[in-house]
Amino acid sequence: MLVMGMSSKKHQIPDIRFKGFTDAWEQRKLGDTFEFSVSTNSLSRAQLNYEKGNIKSIHYGDILIKYNSILEITKDKIPFITDGSIEKYKPNLLENGDVVFADAAEDETVGKAVEINGISDEYVVAGLHTIVARPKEKMAKYFSGYYINADVYQRQLLRLMQGTKVSSISKGNLKKTIVAYPKNLAEQQKIGSFFKQLDNAIALHQQKQRQIRSLKQGFIKNLFPNNKNSAPRIRFSIFNDDWNQRNASEIFTSVSDKNYPELPVLSASQEKGMVLRESNGIDIKYDQKSTGTYKRVLPGQFVMHLRSFQGGFAYSTIEGITSPAYTILAFRNKEDHYPLFWKSIFSSKNFIKRLEAITYGIRDGRSISYADFSTLRFWIPSYEEQKQIGDFIESIDATIAFYQRQIDMMQSLKKELLNKMFI
């Protein structure tokens, strides 16, 4: 059971802790609690492989991007050293409980770390741009990994970073940082296990979401005809008519409706389609005076944006305005086309692959011209069959979105608790 702390963090107890624990936490320098004698290697990616070898090497880039706070040696994907000799690396083999820092990054993620777990018969070493910290005294499993990656600790590293384009942190500066922990191993164990269970729950939801995404792509592949057939492999039982093939120009028209500066500005999102710019999580500056030149987007329309080649055309469920660099697609005959059917097509891997042939470089992205798009041909069923397919795929999307909300909620909870349960 979690309980609120009786006093503030200045009294060396966390805001939230497990019932039955009341002692103040220890506060020491990292260099007094961990020793740093384990050497690391400087092997590049070219000297590593994922197929075979005797020794695994932890690359700093994987710490920054791929791994969670706890690195499961037997479960997580760790590359081997190509032609690595056990004798050469044996003095610096990692042990369970070691904390491996990434000491360089292109942003403020420098200092992210992993706690090593699950080593039995494996040989593992720390690689390029890493620093190994080994506990001088026994620490409960998982506690160090979650503590080191909590904001309450990571904030210390910001003022210690060096460099401009690439930030780094030295072993000497790491040693000066302050760590706080309960001396009671049982409390450490409860905290570590709690966050590991939370991470496991997040991972399970992520796995389920990936499975449903894969299922969706399988349905899309079979619910639409290929180039050789006029009907799909899988159909709803009430439909048996052949589909018709049409040029995109027969289905869509490009619209450029401007002078609506009072409407909200929209941005293209690969996952959510057209969204309010302020909700996109990216601070994109624009001249408010220029919004009169922005194009109006209506519900049921599609937007060809600079990143369409990555995620397809963005579907809009809301009215707003967007960049004049984008192309707005509207149906020529709305009564003949169900928007959610076309949303499924435009977000499919097959369609995105077709876009590769009609894209060209422009600024920092790629733009698709309406003239080139208009030449693409599509198989089209009756409106009723479009609706069945569109609604079916949308129900799958709703399930994917549900899992994403659960993931986001748990990740937000985890971040908050990391700040409340550590000092």
Residue 261 near residue 292, CB atoms below 8 Å: yes
pTM: 0.84
- Reported as a single tens digit per residue, the pLDDT across 67-114 is 999 999 999 999 999 999 999 999 999 999 999 999 999 888 999 999
Residues in Cβ contact with 7 at an 8 Å cutoff, skipping those fewer than 6 apart? 13
Give the closest residue to 343 by CA, choosing from 400, 296, 273: 273
Residue 128 near residue 177, CB atoms below 8 Å: no
Q: What is the SS3 assignment for 410?
A: helix
The C-alpha atoms of residue 183 and residue 195 are separated, in whole angstroms, by: 19
Residue 280, pLDDT score: 63
Name the phi and psi angles at 333, rounded to 5.
-130, 95
Give the closest residue to 214 by CA, choosing from 62, 359, 349, 376: 349
The C-alpha atoms of residue 194 and residue 150 are separated, in whole angstroms, by: 14
Residue 6, pLDDT score: 47
**What fold is seen in the domain 23-183?**
Adenine-n6-DNA-methyltransferase TaqI; Chain A, domain 2 (3.90.220)
- Reported as a single tens digit per residue, the pLDDT across 183-210 is 999 999 999 999 999 999 999 999 999 9
Domains 23-183 and 244-380 share a fold: yes
The C-alpha atoms of residue 401 and residue 391 are separated, in whole angstroms, by: 15
Q: What is the SS3 assignment for 86?
A: helix
The architecture in CATH of the region 185-224+382-423 reads Orthogonal Bundle (1.10)
Residue 213 near residue 396, CB atoms below 8 Å: no
Name the phi and psi angles at 417, rounded to 5.
-70, -35
Name the phi and psi angles at 112, rounded to 5.
-60, 145
User: What sign does the dihedral 408-411-415-417 (CA atoms) show?
Assistant: positive
Residue 292 near residue 262, CB atoms below 8 Å: no
The C-alpha atoms of residue 202 and residue 403 are separated, in whole angstroms, by: 10
Residue entry with tokens 């089209």: 380
Give the closest residue to 131 by CA, choosing from 41, 247, 243: 41
Residue ranges covered by each domain of the chain: 23-183, 185-224+382-423, 244-380
Residues of the chain with pLDDT under 50: 6-7, 362-364
Pairing of strands 34-35, 70-72: unpaired
Residue 9 near residue 15, CB atoms below 8 Å: yes
For the domain with range 244-380, which CATH number is right: 3.90.220.20, 1.10.760.10, 2.60.40.2470, 3.90.950.20?
3.90.220.20
